[in-house]
Structure 1
Amino acid sequence: MAVFDLTAPGVQTQTYQDKEGNLVTIGCEYTPYVQTRGVSKPLVKGGITRVWLTGPLSCEFTMDISPSGKITEAYDEAYTAIGVTVTSDNLTYSSTRATYKLTFQTPVYPILGSSGYLRAAISGDNLILSETIYGLNNFS
């Protein structure tokens, strides 16, 4: 699990090395909506957040966050696979979390296959990203 600050616009990342030596990065880019018209001090009112996981199997999606801190839409999901074949993908969301699930086959287990997800959850001013594709969840 990686925790990022939704009050800090811009890119935030954490990187880890898996047991095969691959560098895996999880991150987000938060672009707030800023209201400047009719106010003496700019107000941050929600925003757009792109989240991603990179490695041999990379994925990403974008979500809109309302001024009240709720997810109002998740879209633009995409993946890139090196050494695996993705057989299905699905992006779902609720007001508090969005999950991009991938089902894939590896050369080692072509019949059974595997699945994993990249998940973004909002908790107060924090964006909590977790994943089960690599099973790391101890980013630093």
Structure 2
Amino acid sequence: MSEANQIGIIVTLVLLVSTAGCTYPEATENSLEFSGTIERSAGQFNMDGDVHVDGTNDRDVEDIAIVLYDDTQSELKRVPVDLISSNPDGSYPSRQSVNITTDKQPEFVLIESPDAWNAGVPSEAYQWTGDHYTTYWVENEDDRFPSD
């Protein structure tokens, strides 16, 4: 065996060992996301923007709602969102407008969709940190709230 072949085999083995167990997301994955503003001030909450499916797979998502929860994870408000599609040629819109104003102060704001979660599509969620909302991702109903 030539020295060049030996080096090639060694490099291949090093690459295989160093990447063993690594997983990489597929480029075609989708996610259910919000674009806009989320504000919480003295006595008022406002969420204004669009919910959309991000990604490259053509996918319709139904049974979507924006759900506000308090610090005990009890539901404060549920706002249904119509079906959306990431298919540009589809018969459903690619975005749905959302405008929520309430005097309730949610700790958690979730885009919930059992349809999306059952298809492996994560949805965006937000947690109040004392002065702003931070983003996290929800992949199923059982993991809607971050563990401490």
| Alignment TM class, shorter chain as reference | 0.3 to 0.5
TM-score under structure 1 length normalisation: 0.40
Which structure has greater helix proportion? 2
Q: Which structure's CA Rg is the greater one? A: 2
Which structure has greater strand proportion? 1
TM-score under structure 2 length normalisation: 0.38
